[in-house]
Chain A
Amino acid sequence: MDNAALLAKIEALEASVALTKTVNAEVFYWWCTALMIAIHAGFLAYEMGASRAKNALASGLKNLLAFAFLVPAFYFFGWWIYLAFPTGFSISEASSGGVVWGESMGPNLGDNASGIFWAAFTLFAATTASIMSGAVIERIRMSAFTILAVILGAFVWILGASWGWHPEGWLTSTFGLHDIGAAGCVHMVAGFFTLGVLINLGPRLGRFNADGTVNHISGHNMPMSLIGLMLIVMGFFGFLGGCILYNGGTWMTIYNTPTTLSAFAFNTLMGVAGGMIGSYLVTRDPFWMMSGALIGVISSAPGLDVYYPPLAFLISFIGGCVIPKLADMLLTRFKIDDAVGAVAVHGLGGVWGLLAVGLFAAGYPNVNGPAISFGGQFMSMIVFALLGFLPGFAASYVLKMLGMLRTDPKVELAGLDVAEVPVKAYPEASTIPAFTGGEALSPAE
């Protein structure tokens, strides 16, 4: 074989390897996106189960609406925001890649990356909306929820992601923020946004007595909630896989530091287990035990790439022990009626996750910015808390002033399904007043 033929063969081989890498990367994110849909199936089951029977379908409908509206909203605005604002509020040149009339935002044989990354980020966006949706069940208007979900999912969290979950984000370049599993921009921002909404929305009718004591409101199907929570945990393997940059050859964190899927596998599973065991210890409640699995994932998420696995277990165990108590405090002391504990699980779980990296993983070098430190993690945590809370409070306050935030008390008493959903969840049931269109015996029913 002469040199020319050999060279041609090498070139063909190189082209083939490059194509394989590209296809591998595309396929990886394709399946991460598919797995993340399990998060939404999980939230759907979990929130329907946590609702009283009279509100089961309305709660589910809300989740479906959030998912459906988030897809176009993130296409039109979200992806552009992520590319535009890593340095703060000035628009980056890279934003041209997210302009909806640009070449990257549609089928393009020269761009195998934009669509698949957009899809993964769209599912992250829908996750933020789902985090809020459980907290506000049984009294928020469907339209208000959809508006708030779009604001959170297509604008607010993605600005946080651009700032702190981007190779050039200013929180990393300034403070050395390390949050590879998105506990800050996804969980904290969604949790604190939800807190702002809940303050304006108020508790469900009958949740508190005149003397401030709390009435327990049971969901109608705990087993469905538990299966839903387990589905969310499964979906998080897609979510966390999507947090890794894969170019077909090497694995990198969102901050361009090297990592492996093995690191994520070790610490995700140890985190899930730690959170479940911790929550079981303090509550004995299967609902909180499965919420503890989420607490575990979120507690360990920022340092999944660097933790020694038993350390991830312990961090998540602590989160699993403490967060349920904080959820109880939000209810009993601050009178925040968060139907599923989302503010505590995601908001406060995210706080703990970010601070834990500062406490237990300080000193790791960053590619773009100072090394990881407690001070840097703390400052970033404050930014995420404000970024979530302020828009959530302001947007829900405006909706409240316009009379658009909350359902009519008559609807709330009768059940949202009776008033707003044209089909019945359990058409053969007849013992619950809501099924027959009658009024509940008391507000907590």
Chain B
Amino acid sequence: MNSAPIATWEGAKAYFTFADQPAVLMLISALALAACVGVLVSMVRHETDCVKKLPN
């Protein structure tokens, strides 16, 4: 996958991966945010499960 927005370093500015493809950047950002939210949700479930497993 060629993700480089530059072909030469001469005059390069924003050269990070996919810098010339805003849709891809939005997708990557959405995935990263989804990972954070997903882990938070799983954390809540984990806590709830732990409480259920405790003896009364």
Query: Which B20-51 residues have a C-beta within 8 angstroms of A?
Result: 25, 28-29, 31-33, 35-36, 38-39, 42-43, 46
Report the Cα distance A220→B18, complex, angstroms: 47
Find A311's partner among B4, B7, B15, B17 (CB 8 Å cutoff): B17
Q: How far is the CA of A258 from the CA of B16 in the complex (A)?
A: 12
Supposing A306-B17, A308-B19, A311-B17 touch, asked if A361 and B4 sit within 8 A by C-beta, the answer is yes
B17 & A360 in contact (Cβ 8 Å cutoff): yes
- Number of residue pairs spanning A and B whose beta carbons lie under 8 angstroms apart: 73
User: A348-376, CB under 8 A of B: which get 1 and which 0?
Assistant: 00000000000111111101000110000
Contact (A277, B9) CB under 8 Å given A307-B17, A308-B28, A310-B29: no
Residue of B2, B3, B9, B33 with most partner-chain A CB within 10 A = B3
Contact check, B25 vs A306: say whether CB atoms are below 8 A apart: no
Contact, CB under 8 Å: A311 / B39 = no
Q: Which residue of B lies closest to A256 (CB)?
A: B9
Instruction: Give bound CA distance, A359 to B28, whole Å.
Output: 14
CB 8 Å contact bits of A309-324 with B (1 = contact, 0 = none): 1110110010000000
Question: In the bound complex, do residue B39 and residue A365 qualify as a contact, i.e. CB atoms below 8 Å apart?
Answer: no
Pair B9/A363 contact, Cβ less than 8 Å: no
Query: For A303, what are the chain B residues with a Cβ–Cβ distance below 8 Å?
Result: 17
B8 interface hit (Cβ, 8 Å): yes
Q: Please report which residues of chain A, range 262-315, place their CB below 8 angstroms from some CB of chain B when the two chains form the complex.
A: 263, 274, 277-278, 280-281, 284, 303, 306-311, 313-314
CB–CB A365/B46 < 8 A? no
Give complex CA distance A306, B5 in Å: 10
Report whether A314 and B31 are in contact in the complex, using a CB–CB cutoff of 8 Å.
yes
Which residue of chain A is the closest to B4 with respect to CB atoms? A363
Contact of A365 among B9, B16, B36 (CB under 8 A): B9
Q: How many residues of B contact A (CB 8 A)?
A: 27
In the bound complex, residues from chain A placing their C-beta under 8 Å from that of B15 are: 306, 364
Name B4's contact: one of A284, A309, A362 (CB within 8 Å): A362
Whether the Cβ atoms of A308 and B16 lie closer than 8 Å is yes
CA distance A307 to B19 in the complex (A): 10
Which of B2, B7, B32, B42 is close to A281, meaning CB atoms less than 8 Å apart? B42
B54 within 8 A of A: no
- Which of B3, B38, B46 has a CB less than 8 Å from the CB of A362? B3
Is A257 located at the chain interface by the 8 A CB criterion? yes
List B contacts of A309 (CB < 8 A): 16
A303–B3 Cα distance when bound, in Å, is 12
| Closest-CB distance, B20 to chain A (whole angstroms) | 11
Closest beta carbon of chain A to B2's beta carbon, Å: 4
B29 proximity list for chain A (CB < 8 A): 310
For A314, give its contact among B1, B7, B35, B38 (CB under 8 Å). Answer: B35
> How far, in angstroms, from A307 to B29 measured CA to CA in the complex?
12
Contacting B at CB under 8 A, from A18-74, are: none
Q: Which residues of B contact A364 (CB under 8 A)?
A: 4, 6, 15
Q: Once the chains are docked, how many angstroms separate the CA of A263 from the CA of B12?
A: 14
Question: How many Å from the CB of A366 to the closest CB on chain B?
Answer: 10
Query: Chain B's nearest CB lies how many Å from the CB of A375?
Result: 13
Which of these, B7, B19, B46, contacts A284 with CB under 8 Å? B46
Q: How far is the CA of A310 from the CA of B27 in the complex (A)?
A: 10
Contact of B12 among A258, A278, A311, A314 (CB under 8 A): A258
Task: A307 to B14: give the CA distance in the assembly, Å.
Answer: 11
A77 → B minimal CB distance (Å): 35
Q: Are A307 and B9 in contact (CB under 8 A)?
A: no
Q: Does B3 contact A361, Cβ atoms closer than 8 Å?
A: yes
A233 to chain B, nearest CB (A): 19
Contact, CB under 8 Å: B17 / A359 = no
Contact A362 B1 (CB under 8 A): yes
Chain B proximity mask over A403-441: 1 for CB below 8 Å, otherwise 0? 000000000000000000000000000000000000000
- Give B13 Cβ to nearest chain A Cβ, in Å: 11
| A31 CB to nearest B CB, Å | 27
Q: A258-B9, A362-B2, A365-B6 are in contact. Are A311 and B18 (CB under 8 A)?
A: yes
Tell whether, in the assembled complex, residue B32 and residue A313 are in contact, meaning their CB atoms are under 8 Å apart: yes
Q: Using Cβ atoms and an 8 Å threshold, which residues of chain B touch A372? A: 4
Minimum CB–CB distance for B5 against chain A, Å: 9
Report the nearest B residue to A359, measured CB to CB: B1
6 A-B pairs in the complex with CB atoms less than 8 angstroms apart? A278-B35, A281-B38, A308-B17, A314-B32, A362-B3, A364-B4
Q: Given contacts A307-B16, A310-B28, A362-B4, could you give 4 more A-B pairs where the C-beta distance is less than 8 Å?
A: A280-B43, A306-B16, A310-B33, A317-B35
